[in-house]
Structure 1
Amino acid sequence: MIKFFSVLCLVLLFSFNTVNAQNFSTHQVKKGETIEGIAKRYYVTPFDIYSLNPDAKKGLKPNTVLIIPISKANKPKVSIVKELQGFKNHRTKKKETLYSLSKLYNVSEDDIKKYNKFLYANPLRKGDKLQIPRFKTTEVVEENTATKTYIVLPKEGKWRIAYKFGITLEELELLNPEMGDVLKEGQEINVPNLDDTEEKVVDEQYSYYKVLPKEGFYRLKLKLGLEQSQLEALNPDLKETGLKKGMILKIPYSNLANGIIEVDSSRINLADSIADFSSKHIAVMLPFRLSRVDFDSVADTKRSIKNDPYLNASLDFHSGVLIAIDSLKKLGISLKVDVYDTKRQESEVARIIADNNFEDVNAVIGPLTSLSFDKAASELRQYHVPIISPIGTNLKLYDNVFQSRPSDDLLKSKIINYVRTDTLVKHIIAISDTKNREVANSIKREFNFASLIESRKDKETGKDAYYVSVDDIKDVLKPGANIVFLETENSGFVSNVTSVLASLIQEENKEENLEAIDIILVTTNKNAAFEGDEVSNEHLSKLQFHFASSTKAYNETDNNTFVKNYSRLYDITPNKWAVKGFDLTMDVVLRLVSSEDLYASVNNAQLTEYVENKFAYKKKLYGGYYNDTVYLVKYDDLAIVEVKQ
């Protein structure tokens, strides 16, 4: 019994090794092909194909990719090429048939008909004069090109490549049994040999879904809220291939967890990538303007801080920097930090750089104000010292400048692309005041079917009255999903429009023959008007208010280490300035210790994220670096949450 068990284990071991060592090829099904024909082409049996492609038993559909055992598929495909050499004359005798003549002269019946066209309409008769073609036959060996070698690109994981080449994750793994769990940039793998035009592109504006076992269109409708026709519109191959376990589907933005694939899989935790523990030197420039502070009494000092917005912001930002420095030291990073008061004066910035040695400084954070920042960047160019702007957006992008705050254009394009990719939207409306008329017109140019509504005018003065009526909006709403852009900097107008929109949301009522009307509110410019005291957060939540943002608010219930440490040290929760100081300092220093320098980190750390901010720098062709990533967020149950993409 023991010997039997040992032998059985060996058999299983060798069988397992054989299966894992075996490679596979692929075949993309074309219209009219059969399993038998494909099996014959690759010198395998239909059973071989069915064993690796169980769904094929339900029938072959065009564009389906089949897995073929390469040990057999590698046999060359041999085709016969016939070259006409001439004809032999033949007079038909009694009882001769096309079949007997084809055997006699070793040609096909179709070849005989081809050169004796009267046989297409008439039967063969005794005495018919025929031309029998004589061919020279040549065997041509065709190279098997069912698969090709593919070099993995940056940010590419298994699901991206499976989607790109129209196969399931399991099929990709069958083609590459030794590729490992995580793909590396530059790794060579086998993929179906598709034309470049047939390869799909992963669009960052969509979500992607991995089909689970036994999931059909009905289950996907319940889970994703998408009809079969909507899925097929986003994934045209579905009409022909049908659903398969493990296939990747493109879907609109989704917050679902089960099955949704994280598109932004390139995010890097630099704390796990520290490679350089040598001491780093950074400088922080902030407009404290300490010379203006009245230190005669505690009350006077407090009053000075309260009345000076630059001092206020600088102190909060610096408090976040200090927490970051402490966190970095706990990671074993040695850091020298110089802090300078720029006094919000360009001349002071020039003096600081002239009087101190910046040649050995690895990076400078700040100043906060644009003019002071431009002066510092210009002066530091001679040392090629990278300088990072915490808040500026319209900067002179010298080759040493890092603009950490995303541009307004990027914020606008983010929300525009979100709306453009939502296939469920029935109608788009742009509501604006007079000042933002051109913004509304630009939305109309993006969506030529959109309706425009402008705030009403005061009848006496002709000036903008900053309101719309219920009928103004009701007349253009359509049953189903409506997206409404609201473009204004007037808080009263926001209050008026959101109140009207919230009242017009309608649930389906079959008894009263009422169709559902859904409304989602968006804006290309989220500003202080949307946070006014008169604006109802309940209305914003009911309207699922969506907007693009350079930051996302942290959740105090998330047990965030930074928030805990900050609250314990300062006895207050951190505001946006403190969080920015922490996030930016952490990112700059971790980039320095995980790459050769800050410039090299742009390629090595393509996307990083901290408490409220994420950074993905790109370089201008002739200039510096800008942050090319933003958040898409929405109001949800009186909270602001990130919309997963």
Structure 2
Amino acid sequence: MNKFFPVLCLLLLFSFSTLQAQNYSTHKVREGETIESIAKRYHVTPSDIYGLNPDAKKELRINSVLIIPKPKVSNTPKITVVRELEGFKKHRTKKKQTLYGLSQQYNVTIEEIKKHNKFLYAEPLRKGDKLQIPIFKVTEVEEVNELTKTYTVLPKEGKWGIAYKFGITVEELEELNPEMGAVLQEGQILNVPNIGDEEEKVIDERYSYYKVLPKEGFYRLKIKLDLEQEELEALNPILKEGGLKAGMVLKIPYDSLADGLSGLDSKKVNLIDSITDFNTKHIAIMLPFRLNRVDFDSKPDTKKSIEKDPYLNASLDFYSGVLTAIDSLKTLGISLNVDVYDTKKEVSEVKDIIDENDFENIDAVIGPLMPDNFDEVASELRKYNTPVMFISPINSNLKLYENVFQSRPSQDLLKKKIVNFVKADTLVDNIIIISDTKNKKVSNDIKHEFNRAKQIFSRKDKEDVDKYFVSRDDIQEELKPGKNIVFLETQDAGFVSNVTSVLAALIQEENKEEEKEAIDIVLVTTNNNAAFEGDAVDYTHLSDLQFHFATMSRTYNENNNPFVKKYKQIYNITPSSRAVKGFDLTMDVVLRLVSSEDLYMSVTEAPLTEYIENKFAYKKKLFGGYYNDTVYLVKYDDLTIVEVKQ
């Protein structure tokens, strides 16, 4: 026994040091005490004590030692000085006396002297002035902080939000308010811990919030949220003090796939009606103009240089839309400071631009166009938390840093949109997937989504070369009476022409006399590309087949469109899709900046915005930046492409 005594002493010393370091204390239970009385004494809740002493729930034994956590509310008495007016003392001013000197002499303030001698508000103090000096009785009142205070529930506020705000669990909030009900009502009065205003946590809309479930530890949270304990503690410092408890609300990086407690409202917002900040905003445009390669000797040479360089052509197209947006924003009273940089499509040039210019106070950067250039900009500007908008097609190797906004929706999102559309159609009787050899994997992926779907592949010649062709019989034998959805997956215009003409001919109306059942065919694709717009494709067939597809941009009516009218006035041509994208993206970025605290906050304050051709609904990756998570579903209707309302 004796040989273990030093070890026991060290253990007790270590335990005591640990408790002291974590601001815990201990309490020896006396006869007649309850958990409630002990909690009140130490300004904590019963749940705080149970969290560290689970055995106390079963039995509170006399002389047992409880670990008491640091109180959320300071129990240090507050001393308030009370001054009560008792009367006045007459004073005749002597030479060189001042109000400051009199205030020090009689222990009153200058304002208190003036208050009872009102002529001093307009005239200076002079020798011989007769004054009334107030005499106060001074007492000190000791106020002991109450454990709780009242709180008024705000609109749309839930239990988890209030619990997080005051650093308690949902169960502890319910414990303080046993009659609060399952759903909170606006204006409802609740009891909450009496912490200072500066200690209340703010709901950061750039994050999601997660309620810890019973028996859920850091290991389970790692599996569910893919967050290490250190990462959770960094976002929630309270974990280092009190550990993980069931019902606790944790701040976590925002992601739609996480089991968060808050979500996005998909309601479209018109940001023009939400402008609140008219301070000058500073944005930067970075594009690969490559002006160093342009021959400016003559107008024909310059024109030839532009036509020969696809990057300059694309940059000028996009930038023309940016300039039109800037002009429109000025008419709204928005002041902009715009820096334009030519990246020359070179990473070294991008590095020089960042090194030689001040980007710390830039509100947002639009561009660059090339993925490697963009990666350099986004990586370098992370230290300033400057938002950078990526405008090119998503590159699989592109790293979405925390300050990155991917404005172009992914191809996977387009595919998901059309697949979900088909899944939601309860009237579908049959699904067929037609594809060429190059798209066999796509066909198999769709087949995985629709197990009963039938697959048809384009025919091959004797050398096993794809001929991009199917016969009427190939398709007809797979059709069924009723509604047939047909996926067509190809990048070959000839194959599109072949399949659409066969399908259009197989549409059949009901004929009771001939005992023919109706065969309705709806054509869809997960990848609408140039093949569907080829010269050989008959648009009448696409209309007859109600061709559906998902797209990043919608068609719009050019007639009486203010943007188109202004663009034509400036450039004498109809705006291209790139020019419209430049206009839409610039309008969205700037309007988000002037209607929210910053671009990050706008993600939840303006969940969905829409302009000429494009719409934006950003979501945040669990680890990384923001991506545009909205696309259009459209169809051919009477030779016109129209949006499908869902």
Q: TM tier, shorter chain?
A: 0.5 to 0.7
Q: 1:291 to 1:639 in 2, by over 3 A?
A: same
Q: Aligned residue for 2:383? A: 382
Residue 619 of structure 1 aligns with an amino acid whose one-letter code is: K
Question: 1:444 aligns to what?
Answer: 447
Aligned to 1:60: none
Deviation readout 1:194-219 (Å, 9 max, x if unpaired): xxxxxxxxxxxxxxxxxxxxxxxxxx
Distance 1:565 1:453, change over 3 A: same
Residue of structure 2 equivalent to 1:631: 632
Other-structure match for 2:327: 326
> Does 2:413 align with 1:410?
yes
What are the equivalent positions in structure 2 for 1:114-153 lying under 5 Å apart? 152=156
Distance in 1, Cα, partners of 2:367 & 2:450 = 40
Q: CA deviation at 1:312?
A: 0.9
Q: Provide TM-score, normalisation by structure 1.
A: 0.59
Counterparts of 2:154 and 2:539, CA distance in 1: 51
Contact conserved, 2:409 with 2:630, CA < 8 A, in 1? yes
* Structure 1, unpaired ranges of 5+: 1-148, 155-184, 191-262
Distance 1:278 1:272, change over 3 A: same
**Structure 2 unaligned residues grouped into runs of 5+:** 1-152, 159-182, 189-263
2:624 alignment partner, SS class: coil
Q: Residue 150 of structure 1: CA displacement?
A: 12
**Distance of aligned partners of 1:551 and 1:354 in 2 relative to their CA distance in 1, 3 Å threshold:** same
Pair 1:398 & 2:401 matched: yes
Deviations 1:73-111 (A, max 9, x none): xxxxxxxxxxxxxxxxxxxxxxxxxxxxxxxxxxxxxxx
User: Is 2:588 the counterpart of 1:587?
Assistant: yes
Aligned-partner Cα distance in 1 for 2:578–2:502: 35
Residue 635 of structure 2: SS of its match in structure 1? Answer: strand
CA–CA distance in 2 between the matches of 1:526 and 1:325?
Answer: 32
Q: How many Å apart are 1:186 and its aligned residue?
A: 8.9
Residue matched to 2:494? 492
Matched, 1:540 2:553: no
CA shift at 1:444, angstroms?
A: 1.1
Identify the residue that residue 510 of structure 2 maps to in structure 1: 508
Q: Does 1:551 align with 2:553?
A: yes
- The 8 Å contact of residues 265 and 607 in structure 2, kept in 1 or not, is answered as no
The CA deviation string for residues 170-194 of structure 1, in whole angstroms up to 9 with x for no partner, is xxxxxxxxxxxxxxx997499xxxx
Partner Cα separation in structure 1 for residue 601 and residue 393 of structure 2: 23
The counterpart of 2:431, out of the listed 405, 428, 432, is 428
Cα distance in 2 for partners of 1:153, 1:268 equals 21
What is the rounded CA distance, in whole Å, between the counterparts of 1:595 and 1:186 in structure 2? 27
SS of 1:452's partner is strand
Give the letter for the 2:276 counterpart: A
Which of residues 449, 469, 474 is equivalent to 2:476? 474
> Following TM superposition, by how much is the alpha carbon of 1:153 offset from its aligned partner in structure 2, in angstroms?
8.3
Deviation track 1:322-381 (CA, whole Å, cap 9, x = no partner) reads 110011111110100011111111111111111110011000000111111111111111
2:266–2:607 contact (8 Å) kept in structure 1: no
SS of residue paired to 2:522: strand
Aligned mate of 2:467, from 465, 468, 471 = 465
Q: 1:300–1:397: structure 2 CA closer, same or farther, 3 Å change rule?
A: same
Identity %: 69
Amino acid at match of 2:374: F
Give yes or no for contact 1:402–1:626 (8 Å, CA) kept in 2: yes
Output aligned runs, 1:181-200, within 5 Å.
188=186
Is the contact made by 2:433 and 2:487 (CA closer than 8 Å) also made in structure 1? yes
- Look up the SS of the partner of 1:556 in the other structure: coil
The Cα offsets for residues 139-173 of structure 1, whole Å up to 9 and x where unpaired, read as xxxxxxxxxx997589xxxxxxxxxxxxxxxxxxx
1:392 Cα deviation from its structure 2 partner: 3.1
Q: What residue number does 1:233 align with?
A: none
Partner residue of 2:598?
Answer: 597
Please give the alpha-carbon distance, in whole angstroms, between the structure 1 residues aligned to 2:543 and 2:365: 40
CA distance in 2, matches of 1:434, 1:264: 42
Residues of 1 paired with 2:155 and 2:605: CA distance? Answer: 18
Alignment length (residue pairs): 393
3-state SS, counterpart of residue 486 of structure 2 = strand
1:574 corresponds to which residue? 575
Contact 2:388–2:403 at 8 Å: present in 1 too? yes
- Asked whether the 8 Å contact 1:152–1:189 carries over to 2, the reply is no
Measured against aligned partners, the alpha-carbon deviations of 1:597-628 in whole angstroms (never above 9, x if no partner) come to 11111111111000010001011111100011
Q: Give distance in 2, aligned partners of 1:189 and 1:578.
A: 49
Deviation at residue 391 of structure 1 after TM alignment: 2.1
**Residue type of the partner of 2:419?**
I
Structure 1 residues 594 and 478: CA distance shift in structure 2, 3 A: same
Separation of aligned partners in 2, 1:637 and 1:370: 40
User: Does structure 2 retain, via aligned residues, the 8 Å contact 1:440–1:452?
Assistant: yes
Runs of 4+ off more than 6 Å: none
Alignment of 1:337 onto 2:315: no
Aligned match of 2:296:
295
8 A Cα contact 1:368 1:392, kept in partner: no
Kept in 1: contact 2:290–2:344 (CA 8 A): yes
